[in-house]
Amino acid sequence: MNKSHLRYLLVFLAALIVQSTVVKYLEIVHWRPDLLLIILVMYAVQYGRKLGSTAGFLVGVSSDLISGGLLGLGALSKTITGFIAGGVSRLFQERSQFIFTLFLGGLIHDLIYFYINTLGKEVAWRVIWFVHIIPNLFYTAIVGMVIYYFAGRWLKADD
Amino acid sequence: MRFTRYLAFLNKPYLLLLGYIFLSVVLMNFSDTASLRGVRWALLQILNVVDSFKTEFAYRKNLEAENERLKKENFYLHITNQRMREMVLENARLRELLNLKSEHSYEFIAARVIAESAEKGINSRLLNVGEQDGVKENMAVVNAEGLVGKIIGVSAHQSIVQVLTDLNCRVGARLEKSREKGIVGWGGDPWLDLEYIPKNIRVEPGELVITSGLSEIYPEGLKIGVVTDFSETDYDMFMSVRLKPAVNFNALEEVFVIKTEIPEKITLE
């Protein structure tokens, strides 16, 4: 395991704890940034589909264990997100690679997550789109850009 | 050599993805086994340690202001308590006259919210009380404003409460005036929905909605919310009633678990 992987592992663990304890203080209306998704997309962009989906699965399972919800749901959505983020990132130019991949990955993640979580229930998808998914996505993207600007180079460095 | 050949799929991204999807689906089916609960609680211990640092810092910071506020509140509560005592005595006398027994004498377990769900859609809170404090699964959780939710998981020192604004939470409810029963749930909106209220029932904005007491989980008469709006369509038997939740779920800090005798497994048969 090179140092970059180790740094990502530590950041994933920190993000998991911060997401459950401190992120509530960043809440605007009822929107919160998804730190785990940001780190996952950064990792997948750097290491591709195989490691992206592996990290997505492990992060998703950990997140499910802490959330108390259906175990496997976060794992499924984050596995697919990690896989897609690792694959599509090459389609974008390097300067905008992370942010476009984060948008696309976040969208796919939330769609899978909300779709499975609401199976068999009558829910207002219009509300879920415009009140939950899209504002959360933008908020996550803004926080993602800040994290990428300050920590992106440090996380990527191999030496 | 043969073993490594079996692991060759790890080099094929699509096969690896399918493997993880398969594992996720398997996990969904074994979501509530005892061994997985053990792992879940081990992880929760980490959150508890982080929270103890965070809350210790916040508590010290706010101690003086809190003390002043509590003194004033104590004075107010003292007066209110005096009035309430008189009312309880009066109520007891009237009940005796009517030969009624007091039905609700619950014991409460005070708890503090120490963490929130990390996932969207799942709306749960981690409490700092657990099995050793007498908390069991399916016990109702309230605060001074009304019904918060129910316990869905318990470890020795922590428990998870599923709040009303969780997509999977459903509560048997009753309109306070008409006494008509329905089901309260959350569909992703900023409000709660009261379902299965027939169109011929008179509903008024501002009317209180309380727990029906028909389930073994939620005691009767706990405040759930207030009717803000209702609508009906020609093709539906029931009207659509919107409620403003009694509890501000974004500001949950202190709650009480209602200590009731809950059956091990609740079946609908």
In this complex, which of B51, B152, B189 lies closest to A127 when CB atoms are compared?
A: B189
**Residue B192 domain-assigned (yes or no):** yes
- Mind telling me how many Å the CA of B231 is from chain A's nearest CA? 16
Among B51, B56, B119, B236, the strongest candidate for a mutation testing the A interface, having the largest count of A CBs within 10 A, is: B119
pLDDT per residue rounded down to tens, chain A (159 residues): 678 888 899 999 899 888 887 887 888 877 889 999 999 999 999 898 999 999 999 999 888 887 777 788 889 999 999 999 998 877 777 777 888 899 999 999 989 888 887 877 777 788 888 888 899 999 999 999 999 888 888 887 765
Contact A142, A2 (CB under 8 A): no
Query: HEC string of B225-243?
Result: EEEEEEECCCCCCEEEEEE
Q: Are residues B146 and B246 in the same domain?
A: yes
Q: Are residues B114 and B209 in the same domain?
A: yes
Q: Are residues B130 and B6 in the same domain?
A: no
Question: What's the whole-number mean pLDDT along residues B37-61?
Answer: 71
For residue A30, give the H/E element and its range.
none
Spell out which residues of chain A touch residue B189, defining contact as CB-CB under 8 Å: 124, 127, 131
> What is the pLDDT, as a whole number, of residue B101?
40
Contact B255, B143 (CB under 8 A): yes
Q: List the CATH number of the domain containing B146.
A: 2.40.10.340
**Residue B99 domain-assigned (yes or no):** no
**Residue B141 domain-assigned (yes or no):** yes
Q: Tally A–B CB contacts below 8 A.
A: 153
Residue A77 burial (CB < 10 Å; 0-12/13-18/19+)? buried
Q: Are residues B124 and B206 in the same domain?
A: yes
User: In terms of DSSP bridges, do strands B192-198 and B238-245 run parallel, antiparallel, or are they unpaired?
Assistant: antiparallel
Q: Are residues B139 and B8 in the same domain?
A: no
Q: Are residues B25 and B117 in the same domain?
A: no
Instruction: Select the more confidently predicted residue: A53 or B145.
Output: A53
* The two three-digit tokens of residue B214, written as one number: 């028909």
> What is the pLDDT, as a whole number, of residue B55?
72
Residue B191, domain extent: 105-260
Q: Are residues B27 and B110 in the same domain?
A: no
Residue A28 DSSP symbol = B
**Residue B58 domain-assigned (yes or no):** no
> What is the pLDDT, as a whole number, of residue B10?
63
H-only helix segments in chain A: 3-21, 35-67, 73-88, 97-117, 125-127, 134-156
Question: What's the whole-number mean pLDDT along residues B170-193?
Answer: 88
**Residue B82 domain-assigned (yes or no):** no
**Residue B77 domain-assigned (yes or no):** no
- Mind telling me how many Å the CA of A84 is from chain B's nearest CA? 10
Q: Which residues pair with B112 in a beta bridge?
A: B254
- Mind telling me how many Å the CA of A53 is from chain B's nearest CA? 6
Question: Helix, strand or coil for residue A31?
Answer: strand
CA distance B122 to B127: 16
Instruction: Select the more confidently predicted residue: B252 or A107.
Output: A107
Write out the DSSP string of chain B: -HHHHHGGGGG-HHHHHHHHHHHHHHHHHTTT-HHHHHHHHHHHHHHHHHHHHHHHHHHHHHHHHHHHHHHHHHHHHHHHHHHHHHHHHHHHHHHHHHT-------EEEEEEEEEE-SSSS--EEEES--GGGT--TT-EEEETTEEEEEEEEE-SS-EEEEETTSTT-EEEEEETTT--EEEEE--SSSSEEEEEEETTS---TT-EEEE-S-SSSSPTT-EEEEEEEEE--TT-SEEEEEEEESS-GGG--EEEEEE----SS----
ipTM over the 0.90 cut-off: no
**Residue B269 domain-assigned (yes or no):** no
> What is the pLDDT, as a whole number, of residue B100?
40
What sign has the CA pseudo-torsion B190, B195, B198, B201?
A: negative
Instruction: Select the more confidently predicted residue: B99 or B209.
Output: B209
Among A65, A81, A137, the strongest candidate for a mutation testing the B interface, having the largest count of B CBs within 10 A, is: A65
Write out the DSSP string of B5-39: HHGGGGG-HHHHHHHHHHHHHHHHHTTT-HHHHHH
**Residue B171 domain-assigned (yes or no):** yes
- Mind telling me how many Å the CA of B66 is from chain A's nearest CA? 20
In this predicted model, what pLDDT tens digit does every residue of B83-122 receive, in sequence order? 787 788 777 766 655 544 444 567 888 888 888 776 666 7
In this complex, which of A62, A113, A127 lies closest to B43 when CB atoms are compared?
A: A62
Quote the number of domains for chain B: 2
Question: What's the whole-number mean pLDDT along residues B75-88?
Answer: 80
Q: Are residues B128 and B235 in the same domain?
A: yes
